[in-house]
Structure 1
Amino acid sequence: MTTAKHQILIVGGGSAGISVAARLLRNGQSDVAVIEPSDKHYYQPLWTLVGGGQAKASTTERSEASVMPKGATWIRNAAATVDPDSNTVICSDGATYEYDVLVVCPGIQLDWNRTEGLQDAIGKGGVSSNYEYDLAPRTWEFIRDLRSGSAVFMMPSGPIKCAGAPQKIAYLAADYWRRQGVLKDIDVHLVVPTPRLFGIPAIADSLDVVAADYGITVHTSAEVTQIDATGRKVTVSGVGENGSDSMLAFDVLHAVPRQSAPDWIKSSPLSTGDANGYVDIDKHTMQHVRYPNVFSLGDAGSSPNSKTGAAIRKQAPVVADNIAAFLASRPLGASYNGYASCPIVTSSHAMLLAEFNYDMKVTPSFPVIDATKPHRGYWYLKKYGLPFMYWNLMLKGLA
């Protein structure tokens, strides 16, 4: 079986892997390889707008070849095992790759099977999810066709990518139904495991107003634990002290699966060892806590920031700089402060841009605009500005 050696080996050719590869090559590194099996690359943040009928799925997809940085070696394979003690990654076909520095960023695993009944229900009978490319257009079909009845929007407990996405689609759906004149005939429920709709009080206050304006019943400290597709109902279980159990009927259900690190990472020495199994890193340097030549960023890392593309944009330069320092035997000087941004679309023309760091302190990029309230300008940023920045700047290591 093939054995090859690369100075820097990156596992994952998504937002994180491509951004870091581009930066490393710009910084003068010459031997950078990316392990990525998929021939497609997706701009996932727009899938919410696809599910809400505001964008076409095709605009979120490009070929992986078109985003692979010039100068990077693309290994079209899937990582299956990592042995950090021997500095090797073994792929699913048995090919082995050695490295001096490893960057682990394969993204997050969608655990459809961890919510009872979800795996069998998804994609039909009114049950869909914006968390997959093929399903987001189905979400829009179900929303568009509903004229009366009940709709449930759920968020699971535990870390997930873009924690705002489960509620954004509720607001887009309610906005659409209002414009169609049928919102009064639809009973809308939003089920979240958190005590409030957002971890920052001022933003939670704004979202309370948005939900109330649409007449959405918000179930806090609760999560959907079972889906009965035949009976068209879900079991809601309380989370923590203030949660309560209930049963909700649905005609449309926007489902979000529980999420965790890919299984091959969970079972590896790189894992934190807990149920979610993320790569165990220092939250500021992004360096592994036990293997100094291993770094991780993006959704697979254990850093306690929100798992968003905006977080990756701030993590990538830190990882690239710290790899250069490591290879030169210098102390790691770059530090990530936990910045994340959660663009919460509240209607077909307004968005709230929540930007914050590890301390949950609001850190707005546009201080002149009140960051805790929805604005029309932010909506244009979401639909046009951020995708442009992603394809043309971030993936090229320029932003």
Structure 2
Amino acid sequence: MPFKALTPSLSVSPQLSEADVAQAAQEGFRAIIDNRPDDEEPGQLTAARMQALAASHGMGFAHVPTVGGKISDGDAASMAEALMKLEGPVLAYCRTGTRSTTLWALSQVGAQSADALITTAAGAGYDLSALRPRLETRMTAPTGAQPGRADVVIVGGGSAGLATAASLLERDRSLDIVVIEPRETHDYQPGWTMVGGGVFDVKDTRRAEASVIPAGVRWIKGAVASFEPERDQVTLEDGSAVGYRALVVAPGNMLDWAAIDGLPGTLGRNGVTSNYSYETAPYTWELVQKLKGGTALFTQPPMPIKCAGAPQKAMYLSCDHWLRTGALKDIDVQFHNAGAVLFGVKEFVPPLMEYVDRYGIDLQFESTLIAVNGPDRTATFREKAGEVTKSFDMIHVTPPQKAPAFVARSPLANEAGYVDVDQASLQHARHANVFGLGDGGSTPNAKTMAAARKQAPVVAENLIAVLTGKAPTAIYDGYGSCPLTVERGKILLAEFGYGGKLLPSFPSWIIEGTKPQRLSWLLKSEALPWIYWNGMLKGHEWMAQPQHRDAA
């Protein structure tokens, strides 16, 4: 079957057969997106079967089911997210290819004109002219801004990217700033631990991306395909280019669900859950409430991962609920950690061990989850002595994580695939007008939202210095914060920097970081979400002002 190219990294097709999947693999496609609901017509291969076929050929897979004529903006956002997460080139299919093309076009609104989208689709044999009203949009820009160019281009509209945009505008309102981000929604990911513990409603952790873009910033709703730092430009997946005077790369960290055999097909059912996903965090709480006895497994993959304490947070909150309801005595709780220690900063280990003992948790170090069989409720771990398979009634999975493919294969990456930056200035190691921060940066510190909150002002000050011909002086000390929810109502507020140096934000008489406290719980549950939406994303640098080399 001939596949029809929309962009260098995306092609579309009618319904695929098993032979078509093999052909796609031979032609170099690295992933498949299924845009059909299961059982749409007799004989159609199910999403589960397509995922298995893709995996057998070493390809990634995503299921973004949509109904013809009823494609919502949410569907387009899901398509954009799938395209961002999967390694390209990607082959998307539906019954005829029209839905896949429509989803792509809607995901590009704001990044390309309606004429360009319609023309591209027509070139592949799909008529989207009736879609024109939904494809037409306008981007506002400061007076004098040049189409296809900006003073500052920020790749990534997550916590780090938007906080940097806001901090830049607080310092210089005349800057023409472009944020490139394909997703239509913005998540407060630290809240998902609380969702999985029955404290937050997941809907309160998500807002429309458009609502959090700082006023005065242009938003290109598209995905970056490549970087050309020698030419001061980035190229989008649709082939368009955007030039810059300075570049900020804040792409986040990629959740590699497919690295665990069998996980994508069973996640969110069969007792398999994760607080690392908006869709499945509520399922964690559902499972916790239902479990009255049996085996509960919690996993942590090799570093680096977002918030290294999050796997434990899920476990402690679950255990606290079971203890309060009297079920804990009948539940075998195991923590399978690929690492060799409970927590990387030694000062926090003793208080955490007190809770491990209280809850009777079986610690399994150097034990890495490699496969999950949901229907059989078994999980396989790689350990020193070999592979071990264990049964479970509930398993909370923390997925392996890696740098996004478009960054890892770029000239901006280090050997591990992350944006290669100086750990103090956050300036790129080889390109003076490029900066990196957040989970996608190479700094050797904890990947947390709290770290991004401290990094954004450093990048803002140093970037403006570079634009004015000065040397960067602001420094980042590696600060990260991990509010460990050891029980409902108490948190161990772990704050530390490079080398595990303790960096408390409050005097010990207010919050003692090595002791679980009620005040720390109130900070996480009440104060921090408000500070995030109303402070960090709006350029207010409360307790986040950067240090400087001449004052350090």
Query: Which range, TM-score by smaller chain?
Result: over 0.9
Of 50-59 and 226-235, more deviation after overlay is shown by 226-235
Structure 2: segments with no counterpart, 5+ residues: 1-111, 114-146, 542-552
Distance in 1, Cα, partners of 2:242 & 2:488: 47
| Matching residue within 461, 473, 478 for 1:321 | 461
Q: Matches of residues 255-270 of structure 1 in structure 2 within 5 Å?
A: 255-270=397-412
**Is 1:150 paired with 2:280?**
no
Distance in 2, Cα, partners of 1:101 & 1:273: 23
Q: Matches of residues 136-285 of structure 1 in structure 2 within 5 Å?
A: 136-238=281-383, 246-274=388-416, 277-285=417-425
2:247 alignment partner in structure 1: 102
1:10 alignment partner in structure 2: 154
Q: Matches of residues 345-364 of structure 1 in structure 2 within 5 Å?
A: 345-364=485-504
Q: Give the deviation of 1:182 after TM superposition.
A: 0.8
Assess if the C-alpha contact under 8 Å between 1:222 and 1:244 holds in 2: no
Assess if the C-alpha contact under 8 Å between 1:222 and 1:245 holds in 2: no
Q: Give the deviation of 1:195 after TM superposition.
A: 2.1
Assess if the C-alpha contact under 8 Å between 1:295 and 1:319 holds in 2: yes
1:35 alignment partner in structure 2: 180
**Is 1:303 paired with 2:448?**
no
Specify the code of the residue in structure 2 equivalent to 1:257: P
CA displacement, residues 248-301 of structure 1 (integer Å, 9 cap, x when unaligned): 221101011111111111111111133xx1111111111111111110100000
For the residue of structure 2 that corresponds to 1:101, the secondary structure is: strand
CA displacement, residues 103-122 of structure 1 (integer Å, 9 cap, x when unaligned): 00011111111122222221
Distance in 2, Cα, partners of 1:54 & 1:164: 18
Of 368-377 and 248-257, more deviation after overlay is shown by 368-377
Assess if the C-alpha contact under 8 Å between 1:322 and 1:332 holds in 2: yes
| Matching residue within 520, 533, 536 for 1:378 | 520
**Is 1:23 paired with 2:167?**
yes
Distance in 1, Cα, partners of 2:469 & 2:400: 40
1:58 alignment partner in structure 2: 203
Distance in 2, Cα, partners of 1:184 & 1:378: 28
1:286 alignment partner in structure 2: 426
Of 300-309 and 65-74, more deviation after overlay is shown by 65-74
For the residue of structure 2 that corresponds to 1:85, the secondary structure is: helix
Q: Give the deviation of 1:221 after TM superposition.
A: 2.4
| Matching residue within 338, 341, 358 for 2:478 | 338
Q: Give the deviation of 1:244 after TM superposition.
A: 7.4
CA displacement, residues 103-154 of structure 1 (integer Å, 9 cap, x when unaligned): 0001111111112222222111000111111111111111111111110000
Distance in 2, Cα, partners of 1:100 & 1:46: 35
Q: Give the deviation of 1:170 after TM superposition.
A: 0.4
Distance in 2, Cα, partners of 1:68 & 1:297: 18
Q: How many residues align?
A: 394
Assess if the C-alpha contact under 8 Å between 1:81 and 1:91 holds in 2: yes
For the residue of structure 2 that corresponds to 1:191, the secondary structure is: strand
Specify the code of the residue in structure 2 equivalent to 1:168: K
Structure 1: segments with no counterpart, 5+ residues: none
Of 108-117 and 332-341, more deviation after overlay is shown by 108-117
Q: Give the deviation of 1:245 after TM superposition.
A: 5.4
Assess if the C-alpha contact under 8 Å between 1:18 and 1:68 holds in 2: yes
Distance in 2, Cα, partners of 1:355 & 1:246: 35
Q: Give the deviation of 1:338 after TM superposition.
A: 0.4
Distance in 1, Cα, partners of 2:240 & 2:442: 27
Distance in 1, Cα, partners of 2:358 & 2:164: 42
Q: What TM-score comes out, normalization by structure 1 length?
A: 0.96
